[in-house]
Structure 1
Amino acid sequence: QVHNVINDAVDLLEFRDRVIKASLNYGYLVVSTSLQCYVFSTKNWNTPLIFDLKEGTVSFILQAERHFLLVDGGGLYLYSYEGRLISSPKYPSMRTDILNAKTVSLSNDTLAVKDKADEKVIYIFEALSGKPLGDGKPLTHKTEIVEIALDQKGLTSERKIAFIDKNRDLFITSVKRFGKEQKIVKIGTMVQSLAWNDTSNILCGIQDCKFTVWYYPNTVYVDKDLLQKTLYEKDASEFSKNPQIVSFVGNQVTIRRADGSLVHLHISPYPAILHDYVCTSRWEDGVRLCRFVKDQTLWACLAAMAVANKDMTTAEIAYAAIGEIDKVQYINSIKDLPSKESRLAHMLLFSGNTQEAEALLLQSGLLYQAIQVNINLYNWERALDLAVKHRTHVDTVLAYRQKFLEDFGKKETNQRFLQYAEGVSV
């Protein structure tokens, strides 16, 4: 029985066979019986799309905006809402009978499955082809993983996966990796349950007696210090023990308490609006929204989003609003740099991506800047390596090193510096 709460219309859906599983999400109701699968659009209950199933033992249905996943004894099958089989991903030692909402996650372009044979591994597939993503290697963590979740919105290249490990720590990492060392960052501890929002990349979780919302989890890759400022926290003692987040739709979070009752929570709608503005590069509207709401959390989100999208002007306004004057000054100094490459490199430095910044400078032929960056970070060995390798500015590196040691009243003990100092008069 389908009851439309808006206009009180009631539809009775009858099936030829016994109903095994059903799932209602993203405007579609997917029902599997022992022989067939029915896809109903919520706009029209009279004409479902019906297709036959190979096996009648569907154990799990998972929906995304554009397609849905059926799990049965034979494997994983990804179907479009038109009933077309898109792909059937496979991985070694696949056991489908134990897959559930915590161990499988689906977004419009990506499917993630936690392995049972090795619980530290997550297999990530392209949804449309069913092939492993990127370099084909699964994502590996140092401890066993308990729950996984993919974000739903944004570009495919920026797809993120959040997961909770056995120690109840919450981590986030990028799904796309091409030979680069994967950067798994911890963003929470004692997390019991998590869920991504369906319309924007906002993450919520129940963390150590607190209900926490990470309004912009990507902040950890942009400016770690800001992460705490982009959180919303609320006391979760009212949810009793072991509450689980059922869904996070729009600005409403549904939580199931241990006794089975559902609790609905509402969060601020403004961060989602800000996400929309940023996705469409409407920075001025974003600034206007923050000025209207007058909330530090929102300003912090805008600052991180602006840095992530290399929008210096907005970043400067947002950092000024949250009182991070040192960062405003640094951004100003970046804006004054002459070349586009050096500006980009310093933005990468701002986010803590030293190696990428150095690589960009070397690629652009800005040798001196690359050496200077390492000197500023006291990476003396690397600065000397670059100078020697490119046979330039060795004397500069030695001079800075000498001044540094004099300031601290120390003597040179590094053999390499002593060796080069003999041949160069500083």
Structure 2
Amino acid sequence: MLATIDLRSQPLGARELRAALPRAEYDVEAALAAVRPICDEVRDRGADALYDYAERFDGVRPTSLRVPRDVLESAVEALDPDVRAALEVSIERARTVHAAQRRTDTTTQVVPGGSVTQRWIPVERVGLYVPGGRAVYPSSVVMNVVPAQLAEVGSVAVASPPQKENVGVFAGYPHPTILAACALLGVDEVWSMGGAQAVAGFAHGFVDEGEGGQCQPVSLVTGPGNIYVAAAKRLLKGMVGIDAEAGPTEIAVLADAGADPEYVAADLISQAEHDPLAGSVLVTDSSDLADAVTVVVERRAAATKHSERVIEALGGRQSAIVLVDDLDAGLRVVDAYAAEHLEVIAADAAAVAARVRNAGAIFVGPYSPVSLGDYAAGSNHVLPTGGSAAHSSGLSVQSFLRGVHVVEYTRTALAATAAHVLALAEAEDLPAHGEAVSARTTGQGQR
């Protein structure tokens, strides 16, 4: 099921590794052709287009695009007590971790009379996207909403696809567990819209002449989604900010001979459960572990609930066992792969993990599986995919803040710096830049 890539005694330069390592085929650019007319329709027809696309893509026409408050309250009342308790723990832990991320404004006195203040200003309004396809993701509500709230974003709206399977009061609305998570977090602006059309709805804003009311345009859209959500983000980037163009989920496990093959196999399967394009990669210097994991994966994959999806993902070009000479070589491999989720299960795992440079999130030791981070570790599970962890971070409070420099100089401080400004303005052949300073320091233009 899992292919084997043998990199032992092979050159491990960045170029060679990028060519050798497994990765899903995921062409966001190609999806733009399908997404562009959808986004244009939402821009031009607003709520009418959103209703039509819900009926076309989700198989149900919502009674109202905006979920009524009483439906949100009913979702909490109907929520399984164990699920509610788990969500409350997830929320509490996420708030604990993310609260420490909030930056404070700092002022630097550059020269006497001249200062620069770094201010952190939250975006005015955000649209948070929560997928609703193969699985239900109330945990993604937590991961999106908590950092936005702790950043003190002024206005928070959530969108998730309407579900045709919903019955009774929930008919035509997002999954009731998602609605319950929104209510537990105090979010009362929830919209029944999914896919590329949801991103466009947030970007352009719209008015629902029925019971929905008005959705104001947002400044930023965050949250994972399928390739069409990613393509819509790419298309509308600039009109709105985005967190990332999320691709298929992925896990890499860096393990030595002491790792338990049952743990490793279970974790590879846990990510494969998400999507047939999900990537599951084991990097190890132990042939014995590789053989043992192969056996356990086949047994577990056949027995798991979503076995068809799991087997397709594990057999795809994006999943493999990678054999390396030693853990040093393994570290070079996982840094080149830059996994969304990286587990380190090895002797002195903390020391090995401390040497990792590229990963969305790192899970250290045999008792820190990725699924812990998905739900209840306190960390955020909205993470960079497709190798972008080499240059990007996961969702955090900082994702919702903008750094703004506030510059304040007195006339004396400006005069003391004028010669430097004039010299550089002359060097760049931008004399008006220098004149803007001279007008203040030589008396020209003063009244």
Regarding TM over 0.5, the answer is no
User: What is the TM-score normalised by the length of structure 1?
Assistant: 0.28
Higher relative contact order (CA 8 A, sep 6+): 2
What TM-score results when the alignment is normalised by the length of structure 2? 0.27
> Normalized per residue, which structure has more strand?
1
Bigger fraction of residues in helix: 2
